[in-house]
Structure 1
Amino acid sequence: MIESSRPRAGRTAGRLAPAVWAVLVAAAFAAGAVLHGLGVLAIDHLPPLHGHFRVPPITLLPAAAFAAVAVTLLPSLVMRQGFGQALAVAYGCALVWTVLLAVSADGLAEPFTHPEEYPAVLPAVGGDPLGWLAGFTGRLPEYPTHVRGHPPLPVLVVWALAAAGLPGPLPAALLAVATGCSASVAIALTVRRLAGEEAARRALPYLALTPASVWIATSMDAFFAGVGAWGVALLVLGRSGAARAACAGAGGVLLGALPYLSYGLVPYLLIPVAAAAVVRPPRAAVLAVLAGAAAVTAAFAAGGFLWPAGVLATHAEWAADPGAARPYLYFLVANLAVLALLTGPAAATGLARLASRTAPSRTAPSRTAPEGPAAPGRAAARGVGAVVAAALVAVLALDASGVTRGEVERIWVPYALWIGPAASLAGGRRPLAAQAVTGLLLQGLVVSPW
């Protein structure tokens, strides 16, 4: 009888979690409306989001219809098929869902046509990317907002697309969306390694229909999310010594690229550390990861870009930007409300249940309790909980730092996707439907620059 108290507490917390989620979101919007009315948040018209309110357009109906079909069919599809097929189906679903959301408004490429975005800098790069890289920090004040707020690698990625014969906003948008949606596959592969195949299959529908898809299409942060997710996945994949070292080395390159894509992705490195703590990769794999990451740093240093100098220059630009004047205390809490929107109400339920399942027991195991499913269930929960907790700690560190005051609906997409596996613990189709409805409401009611 004593052993049943923890599951019962988890169920109670799971039922209360959506109400807490709703109160947090409502309070953030209410306080934001007051601050905007007082002129404190003049640059944000719908705080805590950076956007405007609108009446949902009728063009959102195809996305709504697709969501209804996906919520009905996807959970059973990913459980019945082979795991590789399940990954392909989930990835296809994520792509269709994300694209339908985007085309209901201005389309995939429109955000990348803004003069503040990365493609606007390509004329300055010209045919000499190494020369541009060497002078990046010194010329930083001349560049648009997003370029000033990031390291040089995003611009170089867009430049490489153009050099490969794919210029313009549309190829960049397609790359961002395709890579961002592929994070669902990478995270599922990681969950399979940490917690078993069943946990990965259950997570797939929630990864595919995440509300964060609203900002996967289209922001460059979606590309960052995919790069980071595959870096973590490659770290834990591979069975034999040579294959594992090769995967780990490639993962190290991707993870080492993260600080050169966004300064806000440094805390992201807690996620691969947490994953490695669970799977305990061999020393050769660890050395391969470190070597891959070091190679990225060495390449940028050889090209004339020193990361610490870039951080200092960007911080000076951030301090002079109107965004730095946003109230710290409001966004300390409101950013978490935006994270709640990105991850959806099912994640709130799942986090509550995950906390209950991973908490250490204060009582001795019952001698009459069955040994079979309970222990693997707790072990699987701890595997998922490791990376989810790492993502949450990373986000809290960013939040407390005060450098992400607002606009975290795109900045925190790489972190929000790792909380997605927790949502699968909500169970059933209703929580999955709630995730889809959250995404539809965000897309329908908010005009966002991304």
Structure 2
Amino acid sequence: MTLSQERILATEIPGPRSRELQARKVAAVSAGVGTTLPVYVEQAGGGVLRDVDGNQLIDFGSGIAVTTVGNAAPRVVEAVQRQVADFTHTCFMVTPYEEYVAVCEKLAQLTPGDHEKRSALFNSGAEAVENAVKVARHHTGRDAIVVFDHAYHGRTNLTMALTAKNMPYKHRFGPFAGEVYRAPMAYPYRWPGGPEACAEEAFDAFVATVHAQVGEDNTAAVLIEPIQGEGGFIVPPPGWLRRVADWCREHGILLIADEVQTGFARTGDWFACDHEGVVPDLMTTAKGMAGGLPLAAVTGRAEVMDSVHVGGLGGTYGGNPVACVAALAAIETMEAEDLPARAREIEKTFLPRLEALAARHPDRVGDVRGRGAMLAIELVSDGAGRTPDAALAGAVHRACSSQGLVTLTCGTFGNVFRFLPPLAIGDDLLAEGLDVFEAAFDAAVSGKVE
């Protein structure tokens, strides 16, 4: 790796060349495409992003959980270069190629359950979710899809209907696709009866909602993120997901696990469902799957996936050969370097420091949660009052950015600070990034950040 693994502040952030490029962006790119940190990157790898001004930033975002194996993992780079020289596209639906088949074989091996499986490949997480819903409706002959509060499933019309958050995802983009119903999410920190009652009461509320508002016989699928992503890194209480899965099976309802953000070693298991031994009927994957190239998949029980008529699934670019070889190389890297174990090591580094921060600021850090290298703190303004504090989250983010740490926020209320470092990051950078974060947090709490 030619990029040194160190934080370097060569200019203010953003620097002059980044500001020039941002001016060009404003003049050429739709204002609807936002930018969290207008620092323009020219090289990246390991745990570092280098911008056009020579600054090197520590990456705690991974391009929103995409660059799990790093931004330029050697196996991925070599595989992509080789494939580009052979061919970039033929369309698998016209003249197929082995790389697509090999990815589907690998998905059958890695995803939960030892049953016979089939996969179909697409370009993005939203596409995968849309197609999982199509498959579920086709197979069951039912229309209704049940999703949860705080869910995020994408930005297409159907996935906006499945998503819970209005701004910025749904605002004035309707009307949305129908036959989508929303149940309460098992959110321990904000459950009215308290964390101890959450598992039982949230399951009962889910069952009651489906029975009263939808009807079990009308429900094609329940769609769930095993750990919610954009909604706030919400980890349901132990046992809740398994009860939902068992209930679905009892009523002939398909369980779709949206593992777009949680999948491929991020949570310390290959998939978040593995933690509770849950085997979904259908699973969607994307993000960390292909080392930064656009690739997504729906993987499911053979009898479900094969029930769709020929031509019912596909897309011009879905399973592009370059993205497929990148995925095979990324998965090989995850296996060779045991990246699920690396995610657990990152958790052991992060959690004690986040918990210590919460102990120092009990009135501002309401909750510390997550699993593996998918961790978060929820910020509040009044401790036990649990009033969301999006302003504090924004101030901490700005302070981190100015000191060369790339961070992300999330949550229905905009008050959750999330940590998604690449699993290729070194321990020294993790420690330094946490130092920067803690200093930024202290500065924001004391009012030293505008």
Same fold? TM cut 0.5 = no
What's the TM-score, normalizing by structure 1? 0.30
What's the TM-score, normalizing by structure 2? 0.30
Please state which structure has a larger fraction of its residues in helix. 1
Q: Relative contact order (alpha carbons < 8 A, sep ≥ 6): 1 or 2 greater?
A: 1
